[in-house]
Amino acid sequence: MRIKNVIFALVVTAIGACQKTNVQEIPFNPVTMDEVSIDAKFPPSTFELDFDSNGSALNGHIYVANGAGPHPTVILLHGFPGYEKNLDIGQAMRRAGFNVLFFHYRGAWGSEGNFSLTHVIEDTLAASAFVRSDTAVQKYRIDPEKISFVGHSMGGFAALAAGAKDKNVSCVAGLSPADYGIRGDMFTNDDARSGFAAYVNGEYLLGKGPLKGITGEGLLQEIDENQEAFSISKQADAYGGRSVFLTAGEKDTVLPPSIYHRALVDAFSAQKDVNLTHQLFASDHSYSWERIALSTSVVNWLDVNCR
């Protein structure tokens, strides 16, 4: 019995040593792991808020990172109309030490005003001004010199279009970004246009949907009338000295990468002083089966380029 007890004790000790060693050797991964050490005075926090854009109050919230900061801050921009909000990526970015502001554009999901793509760009610029305001900097522990835009789909369009105008933003990421200056099938094929209009009008819904102040026909007209202004690929020269990250999904049928991603990569690659990173995933428009991979790539890119 004594021999068995000694062997058991040795096995337990060995297992404990291995477990201790493994814990020490595993590096912290903000995409898949919770934070271990929390600042008692300045813990991670979430604040509900709104801010002004051209006289309308925009609803949102901000994830504030652990510690006194000041923290680099990401403005996370959702697509059209905003069912996929990418808040899993937002939480990972916060665990990596970034504040994250998420909001709804005018006329979307209860924010005041009417929805339009022009307003989406203006609202993104208003969000940038808000996080750099003295009040926000102090309350949310923000580093106003380290602001980034990260947007998906239409939010990628918003990030890149607003980023071209706002040189205070040092990093911009477009995740399967739309370029409404590119006349893909969605905007030239009659059946595709009518289907898009029906989607905007919420004809598949029981209620009125999450957007107000816009119709499918009106949105198509806005895109038609602003083809030059909404062309992201033609604004790549505004990004000199800054970092850009472009991603796409190989199985994306909403914004096929052969049409949209390729054109944007070519346009930004042609600018010698743009720090461009681009990546193609094996997933669909929403990265439905590569969420961890997408989060990892976004967080790593921010960590290297945007602190």
Nearest Cα neighbor of 130 from 203, 89, 75 is 75
Measuring CA to CA, how many Å separate 29 from each of 20, 69, 97, 235? 18, 20, 12, 35
Q: Which helix (H) or strand (E) holds 123?
A: helix 117-131
Give dist(CA 47, CA 140) in Å, integer.
9
Token pair, residue 40, equals: 């008692």
Average pLDDT across the chain, whole number: 93
DSSP state of 152: E
As given in the structure block, the two tokens for residue 21 are: 């060693």
Q: Domain ranges in the chain?
A: 44-305
pLDDT digits (tens, 9 = 90+) for 41-97: 999 999 999 999 999 999 999 999 999 999 999 999 999 999 999 999 999 999 999
Report which residue type is found at 190.
Answer: D
CATH match of 44-305 with 3.40.50.1820: yes
Distance from C-alpha of 143 to C-alpha of 71, rounded to nearest angstrom: 5
Q: What is the pLDDT of residue 25?
A: 72
Instruction: Show the tokens assigned to 95.
Output: 């665990």
How confident is the model over 135-165, as pLDDT tens digits? 999 999 999 999 999 999 999 999 999 999 9
